[in-house]
Amino acid sequence: MTNTSAPQNNNWWLTVIVGILFIIIGFWSLFTPVSTLLTIAYFVGFMFLLTGIFEVFSVSTSNNNWGWSLLSGAIDIIIGILFVTMPAGEAILVICFLFGFWVLFRSILGLGIVLSLKNSNIPAIANTPKGVIALPIIGMIFGFIFLMSPVLSGGFIVGIFSMAIITFGIFELYWGFFLKKNS
């Protein structure tokens, strides 16, 4: 027999505390953009470092592409070390440029996908609205703007990060009070 009642949790208040903490962190990051960007930059550096270490140690010589995996892991380790050892100002600048290049690259990729879909033999794909092509073009414009203005790029990164954290905090508050109501 399945239980279809609402979830029960006597520790609902922990979820509320987590929500409050996330909201505080979200607003703190919004009002301290330099610290937030530096934290994000170092986090990205540590992620490159860990990814590289895991990739190097997981290389299997039975895989035909083991050399490429080893090279990729080594490059990730080097990038990670560079990120975590560079001065704060440079780390922030690099993360802003990295974001700009990422937006530009993904937008160019999106434009290629849209253009290739036009020539598809599948009618539903070939008849995609013509306005869809504008989306990757807008992304490319943003990519160039972010590359030309690291300050704008940094502000955008901090804004998106902060709003995501605040939104998650609001959800946790809602969920905590939902659990309390149904306990």
Predicted pLDDT of residue 149: 93
Neighbours of 155 (CB within 10 A): 14
For residues 133 and 114, give the distance between their C-alpha atoms in angstroms, rounded to a whole number: 6
- Confirm whether 123 is domain-assigned: yes
For residues 75 and 60, give the distance between their C-alpha atoms in angstroms, rounded to a whole number: 17
- Confirm whether 5 is domain-assigned: no
Torsion region of 138: left, alpha or beta (phi above 0 gives left; psi -120 to 50 gives alpha): alpha
Contact status, residue 59 vs residue 73, Cβ threshold 8 Å:
yes
Contact status, residue 142 vs residue 107, Cβ threshold 8 Å:
yes
How many domains does the chain contain in total?
Answer: 1
Amino acid at residue number 113? I
First to last CA, the chain: 21
Contact status, residue 121 vs residue 128, Cβ threshold 8 Å:
no
Neighbours of 33 (CB within 10 A): 18
Average pLDDT, the chain: 88
Q: Which domain holds residue 106?
A: 12-181
Predicted pLDDT of residue 115: 81
- Confirm whether 70 is domain-assigned: yes
Contact status, residue 100 vs residue 147, Cβ threshold 8 Å:
yes
- Confirm whether 147 is domain-assigned: yes
- Confirm whether 165 is domain-assigned: yes
- Confirm whether 134 is domain-assigned: yes
64-115 residue pLDDT tens: 778 888 898 999 999 999 989 999 999 999 999 999 999 999 999 988 888 8
- Confirm whether 51 is domain-assigned: yes
- Confirm whether 16 is domain-assigned: yes
Residues of the chain with pLDDT under 50: 1
